[in-house]
Structure 1
Amino acid sequence: MSNMSDPSAKLPKHHYIPVLYLKQWTKDGRFTEFSRPSGRGRVEPRGTAARGTGYQQGLYRLMSPGIPEDLAEQVERNFMGTVDNLAKDALDILLGSSHAKWNDKTRSAWARFVNGLLFRVPERVASARKFLEDFWRADFERHKAEYDAQKGPEDPEFSDYIPEAVNRETLQFIMTQIDDRRIGTLLGRMRWRTIDVEATGRRLFTSDRPVIMSNGLAYESSHMLLPISPTRFFVATHTPAMENHLANVIPRRELVKICNRHIIRRAQKYAWNTNDTEIDFVRKHLSAEADMDSRFWEALPDRFTQLNSGVSSA
């Protein structure tokens, strides 16, 4: 089967918030999605399954005309699928459903998975694509002349080549960022633990921006939090003092409140929880600080420098 050239054709769902992650919030296979269906209007809850949300059709699809279906979907199936599948064992350890010991494979898989939550989302893909489109347009005539000088008889015209090149290079860029060894090494060297908040009686939210970072990853005080279920955080720190502060000094109920507020306010489109009992809280805060995320990531070439210079992001 060939790649679909009709832009109106229905493309496969690509989950930028992985299903194995979202499933932790479901009960009997369903949970509550919060969004504004009509743009910036009223926040509405919607019952759905993990596979019914957190996706964009064709997000990682290679769009070259005539490309076979298996090649068109190779980034989603082979790369993103591998990132998610390898992370399952690590997630089971963190959730306490597996008594396996951490090893290099599971630590690397989890670091890569968390990094993917930062880079695989639609806004990152779109900003990378714009960066590359601007590159080609910046000196169009020179690029065209260089291309035409090497163009073979079967090669597309330059105006047709650019969209294909941008699509291909965008996906390569995203995969490279997810596999970035600098970020993966920083996270992998940190102290990992979980914090159970079930006794607080309040459930953790997640969203399309679930990762909370204090000031990048490179400082002694740097720390990362990620809800991995309605009752449990993943926590990464550099020092025993910071680990103790998050796990034992801050009251658990206050920690839940702070993190829920952060995660919902930084959400770009979606937040999720087990039910809609906190709908008023979501209506007050959903996406109120979404622009802070966008500002942090819009200068792609300086991304890693900013990540380690004390700029907060999630």
Structure 2
Amino acid sequence: MNKSANKPNKHHFLPVFYLHQWAGADRKIVRFTKPYGNIVRPLRVHPDGAGYIERLYAVEGLPDEAKQDLETEFLSPVDSRAADALKAMLAGGDFTQAQRLAWAGFIATLLFRMPRAIASLKENLSQLWGKFIPGLEKIYAALPASDRNETLDDYLHGAGKGELAAKAMDAVRSLMGDEDVVRLLAALEWSVLTTDNAKHELLTSDRPVIHSDGLNHAGSHLIVPMGPRRLFIAVKDRSLIAKVRSAGQDKLVRAVNDFVVSNATVTVCGRTDSQLQFIQNRMGSETQPSLLSRLPEMQQAIVADLMQAWEMQSTLIAEALPERLKD
């Protein structure tokens, strides 16, 4: 049997266990999207029918059985462990260190797994691959015809590009699972705030994490909606939790919803459609760069040096290749 046939094509950037917290009595949530132009449309769906894009994390150019490894071999196990941790947190009982690390690991993935960040990565990857092509053309031209097992075009659009894409996704996986980040998140002071008395319910979206710049200073904080009436907060200084509470539930819910909706690029999710106008007025209006989308800017100087070295190296390889093949 072809193993790839059993691999899921629905790649959830918002896992089903997480979205299930917004499910009503009919076990459905409301998914808000903009299918046509700028008009927001609500649709009541099962949690499995929201928060995903077909083959979002697939690496084209690799063998079928390896294309979806980021989803099946990494994100799915992370989500499974986090689902158990969420149950324990909401139950208010004992919370083990393993569960704490599981939830911290899940939060770390939310910083990098969202659609716009992954799309940006793939676009930058395509541009980077284009910069390698002139050097590869020189090396290919230096090969004797008898050693050319495939055309250059086949390699450039197949295995070669797939190998680079795989390395990029491996880098994303390393960022998502960075042990230092997970331990830093796990070491923060945690609390689950309730907003039962707020006028409106909490929403979530494809940008559900609110966080400070850096998580290792006195004002560090990270906030994630974990249901229509529950809010996860992690801080460096526990006194900040009291300050957040002092704002009042209505102001807190409005501030959180304003952020997650304004930064949404693909979808907003809620328990009901009662906040449709709020979402229509704000969805995607103030999107901030994600951590992953900032990486290309941070790495421009590194890429420039890399390409300069590649230009020199590919020339030397092409010049030396005929002699080496004679040996």
Q: TM-score, normalised by structure 2?
A: 0.80
1:101 matched to 2:95? The reply is yes
Match of 2:71 in 1: 76
Q: Any residues of structure 2 matched to 1:177-188 within 5 Å, and which? A: 177-188=175-186
8 Å CA contact retained: 1:128, 1:173? no
Q: In 2 relative to 1, CA 130–288 (structure 1 residues): closer, same or farther, beyond 3 Å?
A: same
8 Å CA contact retained: 2:215, 2:221? yes
Specify which of 241, 244, 249 is matched with residue 242 of structure 2: 244
Match of 1:312 in 2: none
TM-align CA RMSD: 2.7
Mapped partners of 1:280, 1:141: distance in 2: 52
Q: In 2 relative to 1, CA 140–273 (structure 1 residues): closer, same or farther, beyond 3 Å?
A: same
Match of 2:108 in 1: 115
Q: In 2 relative to 1, CA 71–257 (structure 1 residues): closer, same or farther, beyond 3 Å?
A: same
1:125 matched to 2:118? The reply is yes
Q: In 2 relative to 1, CA 16–270 (structure 1 residues): closer, same or farther, beyond 3 Å?
A: same
Q: In 2 relative to 1, CA 99–162 (structure 1 residues): closer, same or farther, beyond 3 Å?
A: same
Q: The residue matched to 1:199 in structure 2 has which SS? A: coil
Match of 1:262 in 2: 259
1:91 matched to 2:102? The reply is no
- For residue 222 of structure 1, report the CA deviation from its aligned partner: 1.1
Q: The residue matched to 1:43 in structure 2 has which SS? A: strand
Pick the structure with greater CA Rg: 2
Match of 2:16 in 1: 19
How many percent of aligned residue pairs carry the same amino acid? Answer: 27
Q: In 2 relative to 1, CA 289–115 (structure 1 residues): closer, same or farther, beyond 3 Å?
A: same
Gaps of 5+ in 1: 5-10, 305-314
Mapped partners of 1:46, 1:37: distance in 2: 11
The amino acid that maps onto 1:36 is K
Mapped partners of 2:297, 2:41: distance in 1: 37
Q: The residue matched to 1:89 in structure 2 has which SS? A: helix
Q: The residue matched to 1:35 in structure 2 has which SS? A: strand
8 Å CA contact retained: 2:115, 2:206? no
Mapped partners of 1:141, 1:255: distance in 2: 54
8 Å CA contact retained: 1:266, 1:293? no
Compare 107-116 and 124-133 and name the one that shifted more: 124-133
What is the aligned length? Answer: 291
- For residue 31 of structure 1, report the CA deviation from its aligned partner: 1.2
- For residue 113 of structure 1, report the CA deviation from its aligned partner: 0.5
Mapped partners of 2:23, 2:118: distance in 1: 28
Match of 1:282 in 2: 279
Q: The residue matched to 1:45 in structure 2 has which SS? A: strand
Q: The residue matched to 1:272 in structure 2 has which SS? A: strand
1:42 matched to 2:35? The reply is no
8 Å CA contact retained: 1:30, 1:48? yes
- For residue 153 of structure 1, report the CA deviation from its aligned partner: 6.0
| Structure number with higher helix proportion | 2
- For residue 277 of structure 1, report the CA deviation from its aligned partner: 1.0
Q: TM-score, normalised by structure 1?
A: 0.83
Q: Any residues of structure 2 matched to 1:147-186 within 5 Å, and which? A: 157=152, 158-160=155-157, 161-186=159-184
